[in-house]
Structures are given as C-alpha cells and as structure tokens.
Amino acid sequence: MPKMKTHRGTAKRIKVTGTGKYVAKHSGKSHILTKKTRKRKNRMKKDFVLLDNVHKSDMIRLLPYGVGR
C-alpha cells in the first residue's frame, strides 16, 4: 500500500493543535472591509476551532499524518 498524500491546500490553511483539534483562520478579512464593522473585523483576527463532529472525517482524509487522529 503506498503512502497517503496530504492535501497541500488544506495543510497550508488548517493547523492541528496538540490536543488534536483543528484550527483555521476566519475568511473575509482581505478586501471590501469598509462596510464591515470594527467589531466584526476584530473578531475575524482570531483563529477558530473547526467542529469535531462535522469536520473530523474530512480532516482525517485530507491530513492523514496530522496529530488529531
């Protein structure tokens, strides 16, 4: 059986924490910022944790050698 390949686009965007959670950046922070409120833009600065029950199987397939298996 050959090695499984990591999905490089996912690996660049999603990180795995030490406890096995998946963390990503918020989208929508690059342009058209004038109509967005300061509160909304500040919230988008922070990373967010992907929901385990929704995304877990996808992340295992895309990031086979991530810590969160």
From first to last of its 69 residues, what are the pLDDT tens digits of the chain?
899 999 999 999 999 998 889 999 999 999 999 999 999 999 999 999 998 888 888 999 999 988 655
DSSP notation for 7-50: -HHHHHHEEE-TTS-EEEPPSS-SS--TTS-HHHHHHHHS-EEP
Give a yes or no: residue 44 inside a domain: yes
pTM comes to 0.80
Is 12 part of a structural domain of the chain?
yes
Report yes or no on 36 lying in a domain: yes
**Residue 57: CATH number of its domain:** 4.10.410
β-strands 14-16, 48-49 pairing: unpaired
Residue 20: predicted pLDDT: 87
Rounded to a whole number of angstroms, the CA Rg of the chain reads 15
pLDDT score recorded for residue 69: 53
23 and 48 Cβ atoms separated by less than 8 Å: yes
Residue 3 lies in a domain: no
Residue 2 lies in a domain: no
Number of domains in the chain: 1
Tokens at 44, concatenated = 């988008």
What residues make up the domain containing 13?
Answer: 8-62
